């Protein structure tokens, strides 16, 4: 939490930040996935994670189920930290939120990010090829999520109390994702770095490279070992790789 702002968790840095990376977790996720990332970054690039209502230390708050509402509130929370160049990273649903957040911030006069990082996600203009899940009864929803994403660990599946905490924000995030409709906007000018898991068979190279349509800048695609949630399986490796692309994309001081 930053100065009483529940939307953001920021890492401590030893020097004033020259830039910030805002990280957005996957559906149902929390900032904990980015907890150790700062140690892989230069001291003057601060890692900040977004913390959405309905999970973690905001569990008692209602989840937000529409993209425009979530993005507007997140952007307002980020505004005090946009005094330096910023980059945005999102994983899976987080990448889609990150794209819309970057668009919203530009429309509010904050300019383009110096880098957009899309992890485990197809280009935002590509429609979801799968039928919706969010409206299903709980047991069918869980089965559908496991078949499609395999993202609920077995230790949680075997613990009813933990499962009861996870499912409501996860269903809310799926509703946000499955009700989203892409609107074409002018492209960004910043680089876009895409990361994918080489065992994530839901996505392919053409879907990753579709991100080129949202920018006039360069696109890079990097594959790492793992499935859809490689950001957890290969956390240190991904953090180090993202730190490198951030450092390379950051304009000179």
What is the set of active-site residues? 92
Token pair for 122 = 């197809």
Rounded CA-CA distance 50/97 in Å is: 11
Neighbours of 207 (CB within 10 A): 16
Rounded CA-CA distance 89/190 in Å is: 13
The answer to whether 122 and 110 have CB atoms below 8 angstroms apart is no
Buried (b) or exposed (e) across 215-248, using 16+ Cβ within 10 A?
Answer: bebebeeeebebbbbbbbebbeebbebbbebbee
Q: What are phi and psi of 62, to 5 degrees?
A: -70, 140
H/E run at residue 24: strand 19-24
């Amino acid at each position: 939490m930053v100065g009483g702002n529940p939307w953001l968790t920021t890492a401590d840095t030893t020097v004033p930040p020259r830039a910030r990376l805002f990280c957005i977790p996957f559906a149902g996720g929390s900032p904990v996935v980015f907890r150790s990332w700062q140690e892989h970054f230069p001291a003057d690039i601060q890692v900040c994670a977004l913390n959405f209502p309905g999970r973690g230390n905001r569990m008692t708050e209602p989840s937000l189920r529409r993209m425009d509402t979530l993005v507007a509130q997140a952007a307002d929370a980020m505004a005090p930290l946009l005094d330096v160049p910023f980059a945005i990273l999102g994983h899976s649903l987080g990448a889609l939120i990150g794209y819309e957040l970057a668009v919203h911030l530009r429309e509010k006069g904050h300019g383009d990010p110096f880098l957009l990082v899309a992890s485990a996600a197809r280009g935002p203009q590509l429609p979801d090829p799968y039928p919706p899940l969010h409206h299903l009864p709980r047991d069918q929803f869980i089965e559908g999520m496991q078949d499609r994403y395999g993202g609920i660990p077995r230790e949680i599946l075997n613990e009813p109390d933990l499962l009861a905490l996870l499912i409501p924000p996860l269903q809310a995030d799926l509703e946000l994702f499955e009700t989203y409709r892409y609107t074409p906007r002018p492209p960004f000018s910043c680089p876009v770095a895409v990361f994918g898991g080489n065992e994530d068979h839901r996505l392919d190279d053409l879907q990753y490279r579709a991100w080129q349509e949202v920018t006039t800048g360069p696109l890079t695609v990097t594959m790492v070992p793992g499935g859809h949630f490689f950001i957890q399986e290969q956390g240190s490796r991904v953090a180090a790789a993202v730190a490198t692309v951030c450092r390379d994309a950051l304009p000179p001081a």
